[in-house]
Amino acid sequence: MRLSGKTDQRIFALNSIASKMMDLISSFRCFDHPPPSLSLIEDSNRFKSVQIRASSEEKPTPVEVGEMFADLKEKLRWDAIEDKSTVFLYGGGAIVAVWLSSMVVEAINSVPLLPKVMELVGLGYTGWFVYRYLRVKSSRKELASDIETLKKKIAGSE
């Protein structure tokens, strides 16, 4: 069965996107896990949808789900919380912060040229970040070590 010209173009575009994604993924060699393999799957007679499946050679270690939920339940019991007023204070502060940031974004979006300028600033920063940290293997390792240091500072183990 012959597919229409538009469908052929879409398949070609999706295949080129998938190959570019594989090139990008394979360039990140500083991670512990091997890069996932992506494959496009066509239905039997017609091209109905594209499915991307990620797989890895490394098998994940089994996690005891019941044990994990029991531990989580134990930590989050309302009776076990000693300072309930702090929970309410943090929860209320989070709600107010979300509401306030929503109002600020809404105010910025109402200014005619500002949203596009902010979008350009975000694009510029993203480009700089990719150029600075993701382009070269040594800078990717530097970024990974910076993230690990930050994790240790947040966890309090450093």
The whole-angstrom separation of Cα 97 and Cα 101 is 6
Is the predicted pLDDT of residue 149 greater than 70, yes or no?
A: yes
Helix axes 84-110, 114-129, angle to 10 degrees: 110
Least confident of 7-16, 68-77, 101-110: 7-16
Mean pLDDT of 30-43: 48
Is the predicted pLDDT of residue 30 greater than 60, yes or no?
A: no
pLDDT at 82: 81
Q: What is the pLDDT of residues 43-56, one digit of tens each?
A: 444 445 555 666 65
Higher pLDDT, 32 or 94: 94
* Helix residue spans in the chain (DSSP H): 5-27, 65-75, 84-110, 114-129, 137-155
pLDDT at 108: 85
pLDDT at 45: 46
Cβ proximity of 54 and 72 under 8 Å:
no
Q: What is the pLDDT of residues 85-137, one digit of tens each?
A: 888 999 999 999 999 999 998 998 888 888 889 899 999 999 999 999 999 99
For residue 52, the cross-strand partners are 40
Higher pLDDT, 11 or 29: 11
